[in-house]
């Protein structure tokens, strides 16, 4: 089975989905490393896997605490979380005023 490599077009699509904007040198390095990594994992597609093997998402099955009750709780200090946002208004995280920024750009 041939696994497709990352073409320039596919790479641009991935970059768009990942919400990046990259300069040409960065793009070239990243695309090259992606293709190297995909070559490195090619082996995975060739390993004989018994149909009885079930996938595992955690290795060991965790005997964790029972799920918490689905109850609303007041966070003791919400201001400390809001304060982390680059911009906030009246106790809420503010999405930037796009029109104002466009003006700045001009």
Partner 1 sequence: MNYTDLSAFEISQKVRSGEIKAVEMVEAALAQIAAVDGVQGQLDYKGQDPAQDDKVHAFISLTSDLARSQAAEVDRKVAEGDDPGLLAGVPLSVKDIFCVEHTHTTAASRMLANFEPPYTATAVNRLTQAGALLVGKTNLDEFTYGSSSESSAFQPCPYNPWNPKYAAGGSSGGSAAAVAARETPLSLGTDTGGSIRQPSAFCGVVGLKPTYSRVSRYGLIAFASSFDCPGPITRDVRDAALMLQAIAGSDPQDSTSSTVAPSDYRSALEQDVRGLRIGLSPDYGHISYPDTETGEISYQAIQREVSQAVFNAAEALARAGAEIIENVPMPNSRFGIPAYFVISRVEAASNLHRFDGVKYGFRTTHPFNDLSELYRLSRAEGFGVQPKLRILMGMYVSAAQHAANYYQRALKVRAMIRKDLTDAFNPKGAYRLDALLTPTTPTTAFKRNDVFGNTVLMQYSDQMTVCANHAGMPAITIPGGLDQAGLPIGIQFIANDFREDLLFRAGRAFETATASAAWRAIKPIVLSNQQVIS
Alpha carbon of 27 to those of 6, 13, 39, 79: distances in Å? 12, 12, 18, 39
Residue pair 87/93 in contact by the 8 Å Cβ criterion: yes
105 binds partner 1 (CB under 8 A): yes
Distance, in Å, from the CA atom of 87 to the CA atom of 94, rounded to the nearest integer, reads 5
- Tokens 């290795």 sit on residue: 59
Binders of partner 1 among residues 25 to 54 (CB under 8 A) are 26, 29-30, 33-45, 47, 49, 53-54
Q: How many of the chain's residues bind partner 1 (CB under 8 A)? A: 60
Residue from the set 7, 20, 28, 92 that interacts with partner 1 by CB under 8 A: 20
Tokens found for residue 58:
């955690």
74 binds partner 1 (CB under 8 A): no
Distance, in Å, from the CA atom of 61 to the CA atom of 87, rounded to the nearest integer, reads 42
Task: State the residues that interact with partner 1 by CB under 8 A.
Answer: 1, 3, 6, 11, 14-15, 17-22, 26, 29-30, 33-45, 47, 49, 53-60, 62-65, 67-68, 77, 80-81, 83-87, 93, 95-96, 98, 101-102, 104-105
């Amino acid at each position: 089975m041939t696994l497709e490599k990352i073409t320039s077009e596919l790479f641009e699509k991935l970059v768009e989905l990942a919400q990046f904007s990259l300069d040409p040198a960065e793009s070239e390095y990243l695309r090259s490393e992606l293709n190297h990594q995909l070559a490195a994992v090619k082996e995975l597609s060739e390993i004989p896997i018994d149909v009885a093997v079930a996938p595992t998402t955690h290795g060991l099955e965790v005997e964790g605490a029972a799920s918490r009750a689905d109850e609303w709780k007041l966070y003791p200090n919400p201001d400390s979380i809001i304060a982390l946002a680059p911009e906030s208004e009246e106790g809420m995280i503010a999405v930037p005023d796009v029109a104002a920024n466009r003006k700045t750009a001009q």
